[in-house]
Amino acid sequence: MNPSIKLCCRAFAALALAVVLGICAGHQWASPADIWQAITERDTLRGRLLWEWRMPRVLAAACVGALLGLSGAVFQGVFRNPLAEPYLLGASGGAALGATIALLVPLGLPQSWLLPVLAFAGAWGSTLLVLGVARVAGALDASGMLLAGVAMAAMLGAIRSFLMLALSDETVSLQVVMSWVLGGIQTPTWSGLGWLALVTLACLLATQTLARGLDLLGLGDATAQSFGLDVARFVPRAVLLGSLVVAAAVAYGGLVAFVGLAAPHIARWWVGPRHRWVLPASALAGAVVVTIADAMARSVLPPAEVPLGLITAVAGGPFFIVLLARRLRAHGGRA
């Protein structure tokens, strides 16, 4: 069998395994027989729990992970920095502010759609602002955008802190915002999951249009330019698309730490540096990581649910360090 097809099969098998594990995991573990029963007959409470709640959540976790992996690969490619992550340009600050408004300010609208909409708007809006500020300041290069992002994140963080302090009391607790900020999958309905899957697929296809540009950018601005890439136009376009992808992830998963940083590295170890393959592989790696982390979040401390972002950071950090160390040993000190 062709090695890349073999690799692809293995990756999809890992995702399928993670999804099955995710559906089994919970306060009460379900056996594969329970899952089959829930799919075929849904007239029991437990069957409805698995079908209406756990399955869409697990699949949504996979989509959120894929989006995070995808956006991480775009950002690391654009900034040519292995430490770049999807929240680099203030998306996390904007999303958290949007979520804080949705959760604490009584706007009289249903929170079930206000929360994802404002989180999405905050995440993407803050990146638009950063790009706008960088453009006005005449610093639309990587360092200019990064500095504008830092300033924007500080401002948005301060506004969010003020809202949390001013509007929190015994009833509307800070815990609601804290819990959102630390990440957690918002379980969609089956139709909502369909939309999320479509968005994920669309993002996957849209980011493929960036693959060649990201490869060229990795050779340096001058070389990329000499190969016909309009760097000045390509970078903001890639950033906007990457931010759109992370905003979609944030709307359904809150601020899940670490995945957007780690998934592209895992992908590069799998498939090499070409973005045509790195992008889908990173999406797949993100999907596997978030699905497993969400399963752990729901099952390690029953009946409580540990925020997903804590699991991804605590469990994913050492995993990432081990992989990195192995990689360094294998390549004589070069990651």
Q: Which residues of the chain form contacts with other proteins (CB under 8 A)?
A: 26-28, 45-46, 48-49, 52-54, 103, 111-112, 165-166, 168-173, 175-176, 179, 187, 189, 298, 301-307
- What's the min distance (Å) between Cβ of 50 and other proteins? 10
Closest to other proteins by CB, 81 or 189: 189
- Find, among 329, 321, 302, 279, the residue nearest to 27 by Cα: 302
- What's the min distance (Å) between Cβ of 286 and other proteins? 24
Measured from the Cβ of residue 139, the count of other Cβ atoms closer than 10 Å reads 15
**Strand, helix or coil at 229?**
coil
Closest to other proteins by CB, 139 or 310: 310
Residue 147 identity (one-letter amino acid): L
- What's the min distance (Å) between Cβ of 223 and other proteins? 50
Closest to other proteins by CB, 52 or 221: 52
Please give the span between the terminal C-alpha atoms of the chain, in angstroms, as a whole number. 28
Closest to other proteins by CB, 104 or 267: 104
Does residue 303 have a cis peptide bond before it, meaning omega lies within 30 degrees of 0? yes
Cα–Cα distance measured from residue 281 to residue 159, given in angstroms and rounded to the nearest whole number: 37
- What's the min distance (Å) between Cβ of 303 and other proteins? 3
Closest to other proteins by CB, 280 or 307: 307
Closest to other proteins by CB, 173 or 225: 173
The DSSP symbol for 54 reads I
- What's the min distance (Å) between Cβ of 293 and other proteins? 15
- What's the min distance (Å) between Cβ of 165 and other proteins? 7
- What's the min distance (Å) between Cβ of 316 and other proteins? 19
In order of 151, 156, 196, 202, the CA distances from 63 in angstroms are 30, 27, 7, 12
**Token pair of 333, please?**
């000190």
- What's the min distance (Å) between Cβ of 38 and other proteins? 11
Cα–Cα distance measured from residue 256 to residue 67, given in angstroms and rounded to the nearest whole number: 11
Closest to other proteins by CB, 111 or 226: 111
Cα–Cα distance measured from residue 58 to residue 291, given in angstroms and rounded to the nearest whole number: 6
Closest to other proteins by CB, 213 or 309: 309
Q: At what angle do helices 111-136 and 231-253 cross, to 10 degrees?
A: 160
**Token pair of 51, please?**
């079908």
Rg (CA), the chain: 20
Q: How wide is the angle at C-alpha 250 spanned by C-alphas 201 and 138, nearest 5°? A: 95
Cα–Cα distance measured from residue 331 to residue 175, given in angstroms and rounded to the nearest whole number: 45
